[in-house]
Amino acid sequence: MNAQTRLCHSGPSALGPPAAHGLLTARERRVAELAGCGLSNREIGELLDLTPRTVAVCLYRIFPRLGVTERAQLTKVLRGYQAA
């Protein structure tokens, strides 16, 4: 596990604004953060006690809300909401 992945695993999310603005639920925000860090659906599911299918559905709903098309864009977009 690399340093970025360890950072993503650590504690509660520091990226609060998207949920506060009503864009994402707390679970969706956490899934987005972990996906943005490069974790697979299975790895995210294991961390959050979800099935990989549930993770996939969360991401399917998250992408259009945030206006992204790739996992790699998630971290940048979420940080943009944090700065706003």
Q: The CATH number of the domain where 71 resides is what? A: 3.40.50.2300
User: Do residues 36 and 4 touch, judged by C-beta distance below 8 A?
Assistant: no
* pLDDT of amino acid 23: 84
Q: What is the DSSP string of 18-77?
A: HHHTTSS-HHHHHHHHHHHTT--HHHHHHHHT--HHHHHHHHHHHHHHHT-SSTHHHHHH
Structural domain of 8: 3-83
Q: How many domains does the chain have?
A: 1
pTM of the model: 0.73
Structure tokens at 10: 């650590």
- pLDDT surpasses 50 at 72: yes
pLDDT higher at 72 or 80 = 72
Two tokens, residue 76: 């940048």
Bigger pLDDT: 81 or 77?
A: 77
Q: What is the pLDDT of residues 18-61, one digit of tens each?
A: 443 478 999 999 999 999 999 999 999 999 999 999 999 999 99
